[in-house]
Every structure is written in structure tokens, then in C-alpha cells.
Amino acid sequence: MDKENSLLTNITLQTFASEGDAALIDQRWEKDGPAFLKRLFAAGLLSYEKGHIWNKDSKLMRFVIFKYKNPEALNKCLPIWQEVEKHVFQNATIKVTAYRGVTSEYWEAS
């Protein structure tokens, strides 16, 4: 993948303090997530993927993978993500660790 065509990728790990915190965030995201995603896609987010981490003892860990068109798209999305954090994560205990990088190789089954 050349530098001009490489995607910005963000991988976020979320660890919830309790099942109640996870359920609260799920409920809020189910209700308001589609509207946030619509705005994020318009700003340059290319994809959003969420999954549960199953090879850990805790059932309270998730990963989220975001792909962005370019650095400008990421910068346009950051204020929207701040709104998401304020609204969706409010009054819930969650540890978030985010890693940002550039995709250097990507394969899909044909």
C-alpha cells in the first residue's frame, strides 16, 4: 500500500467496570449511534467495526476499529467523537485505550 492510498486506522480497546456500564452504553449507542455515524461518515469516516474480545477472562472487553479517508477526515471527526464520549459514556465507568496508525497492508478474500 503506498502512502497516498493508506488509510488512517484507530483501534480502541474498551474495558467496562461492570455489565451494567456496558449495558448502559449499549442502550445509548443503539438509540443515538446511527445519527452520530451518519455525521461521522459525512466527515470522512470510512468504516466502524465493534467486537467483543473473547480470549480474555473478562466479558467486559471490546474492540472498535475505525478507518478514515485521510488526516483531514480524522480531524473533522474528532469533535463528533468528543460529543459521543460526553453523551454515550456519561455516568459509566469505562477504560478506553486508543491506538492510531496507518494501514500498511490490507487483504480481503476474493
Prediction pTM value: 0.86
Domains of the chain and CATH, by start: 8-99 (3.30.70.100)
| pLDDT higher than threshold 80 for residue 56 | no
Q: What is the pLDDT of residues 57-107, one digit of tens each?
A: 778 999 999 999 898 999 999 999 999 999 999 999 999 999 999 888 878
Q: What is the dihedral of CA 4, 6, 7, 13, to 10 degrees?
A: -140
Q: What is the pLDDT of residues 5-39, one digit of tens each?
A: 568 999 999 999 999 999 999 999 999 999 999 99
**In whole angstroms, what is the distance from residue 105 CA to residue 28 CA?**
34
**In whole angstroms, what is the distance from residue 60 CA to residue 54 CA?**
9
**In whole angstroms, what is the distance from residue 49 CA to residue 97 CA?**
16
